[in-house]
Amino acid sequence: MSTETINQELETTKNNEVSWDGGSEPFKASYGKLMMWYFIMSDAFTFAGFLIAYGALRFSVPTWPEPDFVFQSFPGGLTGMPLIFVTLMTFVLIASSATMVRAVQEGQRENKKGVVFWLLMTILGGAIFLGCQAWEWHTLIVKEHMTLSENPFGRHIESGTYLAGDGYDIEAGDTFEAGAYYLIHKKDGEWNQIPYRTADGEIKRQELGPPAFGSLFYFITGFHGFHVLSGLILLLIIAINAASGIYVKRKNGYEMVEKVGLYWHFVDLVWVFVFLVFYLL
């Protein structure tokens, strides 16, 4: 064994000892940032569990409602605009993610004014998103009467002819094919389930849709909305802190802004999949 090899071995042993003593960062990230990543990972699994449950239940019911039939309202009493409103909501959230990146960038340049400005823009975006969600929930609860246990959105599994009108868009004598979607309205506080005659001549009434649709919608979008709300509170706290100059003293390139930024992007990331599963598929 040459002296060189021995020296190298000694060197390696020394480095290992240094590693075991701690103080080095194998992932080149601070403790806080790393833990934020692992929190995000675990939270992603929670959302994945919710969305997979949605998928399994959807697969198990032939009368599951179609998203572009359910989500077709637009503020101002407009209807028949499938997915347009939720697309706007998605834009707002993406934009607030981009302004968050700007806040992190200004932080790395130690530009206090820039950080506060872009954080406020991000808060504005998040607040608009929550407002849009509130409007969407309001429409479903007040106008369409969907609850955790009752879902008025259904689907026909056979073709037939309606025997009465519902005063909205169904008239007596209207025909429909298997697979057609319908919304049951309330009349004097009761479900107005319209009778129809099937192709075989049987007389039936419209059935309420699978209740799991309503509860999953409120739970999943509500859980996401709760994340947005928590994110807004965190953003507000760090905006106030940044304005107070506390991060200038820390001299770490506004790392706190970066960590909250990770969380905020995660909220946007989850929305990509909620949007996919609930509205697009």
Partner 1 sequence: MGHVSYEEAKKTVLKGLILLALVTVAEVAIALLGKGYIIPGFYLPRWLIYIAMIGLSIYKAYFIMGEFMHLRYEVKGLVSSILLPFILLVWAIIAFLWDGAWWGEKRLDYKTEFQKETQGVIDEAELEDTIELLD
| Strand residues in 77-194 grouped as ranges (E) | 153-155, 160-162, 175-176, 181-183, 186-187, 190-191
Residue 175 bridge partners (DSSP): 161
Query: At 75, is the secondary structure helix, strand, or coil?
Result: coil
95 or 194: CB nearest partner 1: 95
53 or 243: CB nearest partner 1: 53
Least CB distance to partner 1 at residue 250 (A)? 18
- Other Cβ atoms less than 10 A from the Cβ of 186: the count is 12
Binding site for partner 1 (CB under 8 A): 26-29, 34, 37-38, 41, 44-45, 48-49, 52-53, 55-62, 66, 68, 82-84, 87, 90-91, 94-95, 97-98, 100-102, 105, 108-109, 202, 204, 207, 262, 265-266, 268-269, 272-273, 275-276, 279-281
- The CA distance from 171 to 140, in Å, is 23
Least CB distance to partner 1 at residue 142 (A)? 26
- The CA distance from 189 to 184, in Å, is 12
Least CB distance to partner 1 at residue 136 (A)? 16
5 or 216: CB nearest partner 1: 216
Least CB distance to partner 1 at residue 6 (A)? 30
Least CB distance to partner 1 at residue 252 (A)? 14
84 or 172: CB nearest partner 1: 84
- With tokens 């209740």, the residue in question is 211
Three-state SS annotation for 210-269: CHHHHHHHHHHHHHHHHHHHHHHHHHHHHHHHHHHCHHHHHCCCCHHHHHHHHHHHHHHH
Least CB distance to partner 1 at residue 226 (A)? 20
62 or 167: CB nearest partner 1: 62
193 or 241: CB nearest partner 1: 193
* Cα–Cα separations (whole angstroms), residue 201 to 118, 163, 197: 64, 12, 6
Q: Residue 87 is which amino acid?
A: T
178 or 246: CB nearest partner 1: 178
| Strand residues in 9-83 grouped as ranges (E) | none
- Other Cβ atoms less than 10 A from the Cβ of 64: the count is 20
257 neighbors 243 (Cβ within 8 angstroms): no
Least CB distance to partner 1 at residue 105 (A)? 5
